[in-house]
Amino acid sequence: MIVVDSSALVLFLTDRGPLGAATRRRISEEDTLAAPYLLDTEVASALLGMARGTKIDPTSLDEHFKTYQGLRVQRHETGLLLPRIRKLYANLSAYDATYVALAEALGVPLLTADVRIKRGVQKPRCGIEVIAANGA
């Protein structure tokens, strides 16, 4: 199991270069993906923004959403994580802190494309894997 954030899944869905390939390879190694419920809204926001900004072809949105909806992601409530999210918020956004706190609570790594998350956590209680072209 691994916690995935929206940056990793957007690469998984849209990037046809080495980062996307590395992301798809890493995700394929896991039986179970986990994420907070906010993942759905963050992925939708990113894809819609990319289409509006012409970073992806708007006609590909339906296919990206279909692929995303086909992924088996265990979604988790995060209310009980609020004390840890608050502590992590000193250096992370509340959204990023939620992914880290969930990975810590589940005792699994977090997969992200956002290096600021790894830099922002002073003493992580979970592994934080930042996607790189040569693998996570």
Average pLDDT by consecutive 10-residue portion of the chain (136 residues)? Answer: 98 97 97 98 98 93 97 98 97 98 99 96 94 75
Q: Is residue 43 a part of any domain in this protein?
A: yes
What domain range includes position 99? 2-130
Residues 6+ apart with CB under 8 A from 104: 84, 124, 125, 126
Predicted confidence at residue 136, as pLDDT, reads 63
Q: Domains in the chain: how many in total?
A: 1
Q: Is residue 64 a part of any domain in this protein?
A: yes
CA distance 94 to 34: 18
Q: What is the CATH number of the domain that holds 17?
A: 3.40.50.1010
